[in-house]
Amino acid sequence: MKFKDLEYFQQLAKLKSYTKTAAFFQVKQPTITYAIKRLEEEVQTELLVRNQSHAQIQLTPAGKILAKHAQNILKELALAKLEINHLQDIRVRLGLPPIIGNFYFPKVSKALAAQQLLAKLEISNAGSQELYHALLKGQLDLAIVGMMNPLYDDQIEILPIDQKQFKIVVGRHHPLAKQKSVAFSELVEEKFVVLNEQYIHPKAMQKLAKQAGFTPKVIYQNSDLNILKGMIKEGVGIGFLVEIAVDEQKDELVCLEIADKNQPSFHISLLSRKNQPASVSQQVVQQILEENLLS
């Protein structure tokens, strides 16, 4: 069975037209016809309904089954090509959410520099969920992510690194700045400036708000942490941030413990794909990350 024949068949099943499929691949229509015939000979059954009364191509039950599996086969083939090509690649593609990167990367940069690996790193900055899915697709080699719950995935090697807490963040002149902790229910009248949906912070805050029985007054959302911290400092609103996002002295802010029970945590893990051959550079980078982040 030729993979190219499967590609032709999958696209024909999608477009339901020999003419459109041939145009898509920039080949002549008989090329598509012969590919389908070869597949039918291979599986020993008809894949298409050959009825001139139908204006569009229709799949037989066997054709529908093959179309479903062809999608998975071609997806795995593309992933295999990525992995094979990556063996020859000296780059190491590392996913780092901005907050985690700012806190943890300086701790490992010296060890990476000593091994002359900084120049080989290709860092992607995005939210943890986006990086997690990029890793599954083979677009990243490693990722350090933060989730509300510990991760479990049969396709991913997961190394728990740390667990951090969310805090209420206020300016030094805010009335709450004198307190060490606050119950979320006490914040019903407060205005919030928060990170947007690229981060897990909104989901964590929603969980606390549901327990407290009110909807927070969110007056501004942004993906730029520094802008939000500046707004909190100026008293525009209060924030909801994981503790590693704030340096109280440098940022001139105050972090308050959240007094609620059953509050969400920020679980930080180092991820890599199982059964993916790793280049020598990736193996060294991963070892450095594990040694320095767990120490």
* DSSP secondary structure of 53-88: T-SS--B-HHHHHHHHHHHHHHHHHHHHHHHHHHHT
Cα–Cα dist 101/123, whole Å? 10
Range name among 13-22, 132-141, 156-165 with the lowest pLDDT average: 13-22
Nearest Cα neighbor of 195 from 171, 226, 173, 165 is 226
Domain boundary among 87, 108, 141: 87
pLDDT at res. 5:
85
Nearest Cα neighbor of 266 from 246, 285, 286 is 246
pLDDT at res. 87:
56
State how far Cα 192 lies from the chain centre.
26
- Distances in whole angstroms, Cα of residue 136 to Cα of each of 13, 81, 130, 142, 145: 26, 14, 10, 10, 13
194 and 104, same structural domain? Answer: no
Cα–Cα dist 96/131, whole Å? 8
52 and 195, same structural domain? Answer: no
pLDDT at res. 169:
98
172 and 155, same structural domain? Answer: no
CATH number at residue 109: 3.40.190.10
Confidence tier at 18 by pLDDT (50, 70, 90): confident
**Per-residue pLDDT tens for 26-84?**
999 889 888 888 988 888 888 888 765 556 788 888 888 888 888 888 888 887 777 66
245 and 228, same structural domain? Answer: yes
**Per-residue pLDDT tens for 94-118?**
999 999 999 999 989 999 999 888 9
| Residues 196-222, mean pLDDT to the nearest whole number | 94
Give the rounded percent of residues in the chain with a pLDDT score beyond 70. 95
Domain boundary among 32, 55, 87: 87
pLDDT at res. 58:
84
Q: Which domain holds residue 17?
A: 3-87
Cα–Cα dist 2/9, whole Å? 11
Nearest Cα neighbor of 190 from 201, 198, 200, 182 is 182
281 and 157, same structural domain? Answer: yes
194 and 134, same structural domain? Answer: no
Cα angle 266-287-99, degrees, rounded to a multiple of 5: 30
147 and 33, same structural domain? Answer: no
- Backbone φ, ψ for residue 142 (5° rounding): -140, 155
259 and 167, same structural domain? Answer: yes
CATH number at residue 25: 1.10.10.10
pLDDT at res. 123:
95
pLDDT at res. 203:
94
Mean pLDDT (the chain, rounded): 90
On the question of pLDDT at 138 being above 60, the answer is yes
pLDDT at res. 233:
97
- Backbone φ, ψ for residue 214 (5° rounding): -150, 165
280 and 155, same structural domain? Answer: yes
Cα–Cα dist 14/37, whole Å? 18
The total of structural domains in the chain comes to 3
Structure tokens at 34: 């012969």
| Residues 173-191, mean pLDDT to the nearest whole number | 96
Range name among 34-48, 152-166, 182-196, 248-262 with the lowest pLDDT average: 34-48
Confidence tier at 16 by pLDDT (50, 70, 90): confident
172 and 257, same structural domain? Answer: yes
On the question of pLDDT at 209 being above 90, the answer is yes
Domain boundary among 55, 87, 119: 87
218 and 137, same structural domain? Answer: no
249 and 182, same structural domain? Answer: yes
On the question of pLDDT at 238 being above 70, the answer is yes
